[in-house]
């Protein structure tokens, strides 16, 4: 079944990592995993553009079905393979509500991270606008305590939306890994988040999407002062 | 059943309008509709902060279940009231995939619109950075032809993800209404989008969320040159 599935992905892309986690959790590890090089602009290749006019990854195909938005791929995988592997969306309405809420809510972390980190990537350090950086740092610094609180309320060993691993964890973990890669002092500032991250990072599904180029490069210290 | 549901919303908010459309489509029009004033900062009231620590709208409650991300509310309403009103997510896997893809993909329009329009709102006209505006205008101008093409491929009278009204339409229509409010020359530039919008705008569910203050104020011409 998994041989019908192809995922094009790029190393270090949070949106790519999320569906990779879902694929593993649903027991679909035999899918065709196609790593594309951003440097060589392989995400703009004819092969990808043909099924994803945005020329982005993730680009996902299951038989004739194409889905390219990361969150839509995660939902599709859970709906289509409901009865195999990890149940990523509970049936109980109130539990399901919490999972959907946290799943979508992770986008706030991404948006606030990207606003700051991409600016630093794209702007020469001598041109950095410190007012802009302070504003974006504040937005991220105000976002993360919400998540710290969610985890502290969940109790020891909990996942982000209850007692089980769900879509919400698949969406959150890569976003946290990115913050760590950018040297956010997570352990000092957000101990519940740091403990959650430590518990999650060696999970096989998470490891399956770990960015290859992260293994031998140090990252950036763009979030060290947040 | 709908008397158990409360939605706090603000006039002119695209994220609020989406679940309002879904509520109507699911036959839940008797819900408690609480219009809050952004001017009076009612979205930061204790009543809302208690169930939505972000102090934002939409804020949604169904019995004891709270969901506050607009896309999560839409998914929750469809999953919870699957067998009543309009079916917003088809069962067929390939149709469902297309709906989820387009549903999530609408966020690209919002992000590109917001980057440009919010900048103009927040910056005095004499301080406008024309390079920044040109860059953001280009991003929006490149986004919309994708949607024009989706509609042209769908055939006359189609919805955005097939032959039926779905979650994807509920997410798209308010985003288009916002572009029109900001004087995007839709009819001239994107005839299929304009025709779709004309067919959709008087649908009762769409009208139910029409921003009250739009009815007697003219909007802004922030997108006239896109």
Angle at A143 between CA A119 and CA A181, to 5 degrees: 55
Distance of alpha carbon A135 from alpha carbon A131, whole angstroms: 6
* Per-residue tokens: B114: 């917001």
Distance of alpha carbon A124 from alpha carbon A181, whole angstroms: 20
Superfamily of A2-80 according to CATH: Glutaredoxin (3.40.30.10)
Q: Please give chain A's pLDDT, 226 residues, in tens.
A: 688 999 999 999 999 999 999 999 999 999 999 999 999 999 999 999 999 999 999 999 999 999 999 999 999 999 999 999 999 999 999 999 999 999 999 999 999 999 999 999 999 999 999 999 999 999 999 999 999 999 999 877 789 999 999 999 999 999 999 999 999 999 999 999 999 999 999 999 999 999 999 999 999 999 999 9
The continuous run of DSSP H or E covering A175 comes out as helix A167-181
* Per-residue tokens: B124: 């005095």
Say if the Cβ atoms of B67 and A97 lie within 8 Å: yes
Angle at A6 between CA A76 and CA A74, to 5 degrees: 25
Instruction: Give CA separation, B20 vs A93, B13, B28, B83, B174, in Å.
Output: 19, 11, 10, 18, 10
CATH of B93-214, one of 3.40.710.10, 1.20.1050.10, 3.40.309.10, 1.10.8.870: 1.20.1050.10
Instruction: Summarize pLDDT for A71-92 with one digit per residue, the tens.
Output: 999 999 999 999 999 999 999 9
Instruction: Summarize pLDDT for B56-111 with one digit per residue, the tens.
Output: 999 999 999 999 999 999 999 999 999 999 999 999 999 999 999 999 999 999 99
The pLDDT of residue B130 is 96
Residue of A nearest to B111 (CA): A111
Angle at A37 between CA A174 and CA A185, to 5 degrees: 30
Q: Is the pLDDT of residue B139 over 80?
A: yes
Listed residue (B45, B97, B219) closest to A75, CA to CA: B97
* HSE-CB for A216 with a 13 A CA cutoff: 2
Please report, for chain A, the start and end positions of each structural domain, with discontinuous segments joined by +: 2-80, 93-214
Any idea how long chain B is? 226
Say if the Cβ atoms of B93 and A65 lie within 8 Å: yes
Distance of alpha carbon A89 from alpha carbon A110, whole angstroms: 22
The pLDDT of residue B155 is 75
Angle at B214 between CA B213 and CA B218, to 5 degrees: 120
The pLDDT of residue A133 is 97
| Bridging pattern class, strands B5-10 and B32-36 | parallel
Distance of alpha carbon A155 from alpha carbon B17, whole angstroms: 35
DSSP B216: T
Distance of alpha carbon A157 from alpha carbon A210, whole angstroms: 22
The continuous run of DSSP H or E covering A36 comes out as strand A32-36
Q: Is the pLDDT of residue B156 over 80?
A: no
Say if the Cβ atoms of A66 and B105 lie within 8 Å: no
Any idea how long chain A is? 226
The pLDDT of residue B24 is 98
The strand pairing partners of A34, in sequence order, are: A8
Structure ipTM: 0.96
Residues of B with CB under 8 A from a CB of A: 53-54, 62, 64-69, 71-72, 75-76, 79-80, 93-94, 96-97, 100-101, 103-105, 107, 146, 149
Q: End-to-end distance of chain B based on CA atoms, in angstroms?
A: 44
How many interface pairs between A and B have CB atoms less than 8 angstroms apart?
73
Say if the Cβ atoms of A101 and B146 lie within 8 Å: no
> Quick one: average pLDDT of B41-53?
97
Say if the Cβ atoms of A104 and B64 lie within 8 Å: no
Residue that has been written with the tokens 């109130």 in this structure: A94
> Quick one: average pLDDT of B40-52?
97
The pLDDT of residue A154 is 83
DSSP B213: G
Q: Which residues of chain A neighbour B69 with C-beta distances below 8 Å?
A: 100-101, 104-105, 107
Residue of A nearest to B145 (CA): A53
The pLDDT of residue B66 is 97
Distance of alpha carbon A69 from alpha carbon A58, whole angstroms: 7
Say if the Cβ atoms of B53 and A146 lie within 8 Å: yes
Q: Is the pLDDT of residue B202 over 80?
A: yes
The pLDDT of residue B157 is 78
Residue that has been written with the tokens 């939505």 in this structure: B52
Domains B2-80 and B93-214 equal at CATH topology level: no
The pLDDT of residue A157 is 78
Distance of alpha carbon A151 from alpha carbon B68, whole angstroms: 18
Distance of alpha carbon B217 from alpha carbon A85, whole angstroms: 53
The pLDDT of residue B142 is 97
The strand pairing partners of B65, in sequence order, are: B62
The pLDDT of residue A156 is 75
- CA B103 to chain centroid: 10
Say if the Cβ atoms of A96 and B76 lie within 8 Å: yes
Residue of A nearest to B99 (CA): A72
Distance of alpha carbon A81 from alpha carbon B123, whole angstroms: 48
List the alpha helices (DSSP H) in B43-190: 46-49, 70-80, 93-122, 130-154, 167-181, 186-189
Nearest Cα of chain B lies from the Cα of A100 at a distance, in angstroms, of: 5
Distance of alpha carbon A67 from alpha carbon A51, whole angstroms: 9
Q: End-to-end distance of chain A based on CA atoms, in angstroms?
A: 45
């Amino acid at each position: 079944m998994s041989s019908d599935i192809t995922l094009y992905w790029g190393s270090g892309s949070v949106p790519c990592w999320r569906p990779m986690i879902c694929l593993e959790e649903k027991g679909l590890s035999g899918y065709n995993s196609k790593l594309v090089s951003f440097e060589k602009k392989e995400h703009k290749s004819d092969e990808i553009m043909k099924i994803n006019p945005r020329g982005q990854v993730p680009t996902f195909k299951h038989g004739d079905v194409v889905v390219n938005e990361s969150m839509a791929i995660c939902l599709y995988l859970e709906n289509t393979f409901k009865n195999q592997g990890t149940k990523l969306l509970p049936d109980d309405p109130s539990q399901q509500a919490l999972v959907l809420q946290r799943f979508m809510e992770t986008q706030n972390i991404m948006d606030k991270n990207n606003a700051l980190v991409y600016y630093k990537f794209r702007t020469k350090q001598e041109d950095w606008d410190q007012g802009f950086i302070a504003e974006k740092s504040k937005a991220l610094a105000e976002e993360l305590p919400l998540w710290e609180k969610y985890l502290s309320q969940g109790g020891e060993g909990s996942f982000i939306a209850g007692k089980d691993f769900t879509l919400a964890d698949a969406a959150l973990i890569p976003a946290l890994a990115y913050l760590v890669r950018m040297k956010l002092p997570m352990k000092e500032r957000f101990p519940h988040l740091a403990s959650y991250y430590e518990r999650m990072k060696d999970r096989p599904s998470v490891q399956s999407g770990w960015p290859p180029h992260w293994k031998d490069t140090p990252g950036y210290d763009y979030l060290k002062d947040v």
